Amino acid sequence: MLDESLLDAPEALARADTRGLLRGAAEAGARVRTAARHAAEAGIGDLKPDGRPRAVMVAGPGAAGSCTADLLGALSGGNCPVSLIAPTGVAPAPGALRWTLPGWAGPLDLLVLATPDGTEPGLPRLVEQAYRRGCAIVSVAPGQSPLADAVAQARGLMVPLATAPYGSAPYATGGYDPGGYGTDPYRGDLHAPGAPGTEDAALAEGALGDAPAPYGTPSVPQPVEPPGTAPDEMTGPALPGTLWALLTPLLLLVDRIGLVSAPPTALQQVADRLDQVAERCGPAIATYTNPAKTLAAELAGALPLLWTEGPVAAATGRRFSGLLAALAGRPALVAELPGALAAHGALLTGAFAGGADPDDFFRDRVEEPEALRARIVLLHEEPVGPISAVPTARELALAHETAFSELEPAEGTSLESAAELLAITDFAAVYLALASPDRT
């Protein structure tokens, strides 16, 4: 059961949100702006690469690596292979994770490291492997972290992570403004521009020699933010807001090398779209006009079947499934249309079907828990066209008396569509987590 009364009680939501998840979702637009400024200071806009890389390899802990690789691959449209270097280890702890460069990696390839922590010992070792192979190296991580030092020594490009003070004073001490999401002070940067630090002369000269590929730079700005982040972000989900802090500099990078069209003006539009979603989905907005609260209420007691159409929607569905499991403790199944119609068809006629148990009407509403029923959530990034499987999915849901929800972003670019879908589902996962009776 879901405590729906909590959804329309902003002050109660603020007290329940001890990890600052709503604030993190609300300040995603500000993270984009701050991350874009950090990327400019790091020199991404001045890069003059010698053509596209043969392949882009992405490494990072938990969803920081997997979601970044997934979204970069979806947005690239197949212009260049984007692959995830998955970690191995005996436990999902930063100190236990290890990454190994693929055997085919070489001077024609680009290694991207994305982490909200930067203290994982396995990532500097991966940097050393990449340097020896001649790979280009780019990292987004907290400044003044071991990973930042390793990338600097390998003459790679280091972009400081746009961090945010989760549980900061105004939020944690009661100065929480439930109507302020999407408005000042979150429309601007998260903090004033920090003065870049100075590097050791040996690092500036490059202790390991010249950069082996055209993405290297001897200048590594060091922000004032300390390394480290929320503990569950190190190997678990990239919490709302953090994903855009990792993704934004990389979008500017792949724009420079011709994989994705993501110039600074496009990222400004993304930040504006994230602000608009924050205004629509903030805790002060009533459930009946709030798409994220509505989706959270609809998923209460349901087995979500996340059916997606389009590469960006597919990446969003996979992230949403991960957040539902990690934040709300809820299972969800993801499949792409039209294959989802066959893959999940049996779930619409079995024990999880909408009208599966005729005796359910007579159950004790107080003593007996409600049976888990399948609910289809349709995610698509473009208006339904003549070759879309979305109408068939709707008809199938109606034929089997299965409830369904549908999310379709407003008109805009692929980046704006991704921003809207990710923001709404981020908010929905957070609301479901906060309003669940078994929340921690």
Per-state percent for the chain, helix, strand, coil, to nearest 5: 45, 10, 45
The pLDDT value recorded for residue 169 is: 30
266 in Cβ contact with 55 (< 8 Å): no
Q: What would the pLDDT profile of 76-115 be if each residue is shown by its tens digit?
A: 988 899 999 999 999 888 889 999 999 999 999 999 999 9
With the C-alpha atoms ordered 392, 394, 398, 404, is the resulting torsion angle positive or negative? positive
72 in Cβ contact with 99 (< 8 Å): no
Q: Which residues contact 411 (CB under 8 A, 6 or more apart)?
A: none
Q: Check pLDDT > 60 for residue 336.
A: yes
Q: Which amino acid is at 307?
A: W
pLDDT band with cut points at 50, 70 and 90 for residue 370 = low
Q: Check pLDDT > 50 for residue 391.
A: yes
| Residue 208: count of CB within 10 angstroms of its CB | 16
pLDDT band with cut points at 50, 70 and 90 for residue 439 = low
43 in Cβ contact with 157 (< 8 Å): yes
The pLDDT value recorded for residue 77 is: 86
Burial 381-410 (b: 16+ CB within 10 A, else e): bbeeeeebbbeebeebbeebebebbbbbbe
Q: Check pLDDT > 50 for residue 383.
A: yes
Q: What would the pLDDT profile of 225-255 be if each residue is shown by its tens digit?
A: 333 444 455 555 677 789 999 999 999 999 9
pTM of the model: 0.84
Q: Which tokens is 96 given?
A: 């236990």
d(CA 67, CA 198): 33
The pLDDT value recorded for residue 199 is: 31
Q: Check pLDDT > 50 for residue 377.
A: yes
Q: Where are the alpha helices (DSSP H) in 43-114?
A: 62-76
DSSP string, 180-244: -TTSTTTTS-SSPPPPPPPPPHHHHH-TT-S-SSTT--S-----SPPS---GGGTTS---TTHHH
What does the longest C-alpha to C-alpha distance in the chain come to? 77
Average pLDDT over residues 349-368: 61
The pLDDT value recorded for residue 394 is: 95
Q: What would the pLDDT profile of 181-223 be if each residue is shown by its tens digit?
A: 433 333 455 543 333 333 333 322 332 233 334 444 333 333 3
Average pLDDT over residues 128-148: 95
Mean of the per-residue pLDDT values for the chain? 83
